[in-house]
Amino acid sequence: TELSPRLARAQGSPPEQLHVIDLLSVGQIGPGDETISVAFDDNLGELYPFSLAQKLDLITEPLDWYLPGADTPWGAPVVPMEMLSVLTNAASKHSGFAARQPSIGLFIDLEVRLLGCPVLVGHTYRIDREIVAISESRRTESYWTRTTLTDVATDVASAEVLLHQGVFKDSYPGYPAGG
């Protein structure tokens, strides 16, 4: 994929000294007990002030399979691809993956992949997270998280989200000069 070479570079040259994400480590996994399910009118938390129904009202590439009552081969409406990163991040504050505060974060890269059956409205998915790389640039410290959504009923992985996120070094008070 497009992110594979960047991820490989990050994995091949880990930073020597971190100051904002120093509590994170490659191989660190989430708590393992996270699950998520989405219905059309669910509120997905303070980071996502819209429901799936509201998103579908504005979606630029509508599909009948996204709608309530959709007749799909999987027996339920399909969650749009652009909502999968929302599902994996809606409960991310419970993951234990946190930067020191105060600091300003950003999403750097995002890759969403379906692994078979699409993610379905009303199904419950286990969220498995793992930090797969840590990196830095002149202005940021960053980490790469691979998150898998696994259908609880079938124990089959449905989707994977690779998120490269970081924090601005200058946003952390007392960040060492030249660091």
If you count DSSP H runs as helices and E runs as strands, how many of each does the chain have, helices first? 3, 5
Q: What is the pLDDT of residue 126?
A: 96
Q: What is the pLDDT of residue 33?
A: 84
Mean pLDDT of the 1-5 span: 92
> 81: closest CA among 1, 163, 161, 164?
161
Q: What is the pLDDT of residue 122?
A: 96
Over the chain, what is the mean pLDDT?
A: 93
Q: Over the stretch 9-35, which tens digit does the pLDDT of each residue have?
A: 999 999 989 999 999 999 999 988 899
Q: What is the pLDDT of residue 179?
A: 66
Q: How confident is the model at residue 47 (pLDDT cuts 50, 70, 90)?
A: confident
Domain boundaries, given as residue ranges, for the chain: 4-171
Mean pLDDT of the 73-80 span: 97
Q: Taking the CB of residue 136, how many other CB atoms lie within 10 A of it?
A: 23
Tokens representing residue 127 in the block: 């969220």
Q: What is the pLDDT of residue 116?
A: 87
Superfamily grouping for domain 4-171: Hotdog Thioesterase (3.10.129.10)
Supply the pTM of this predicted model: 0.92
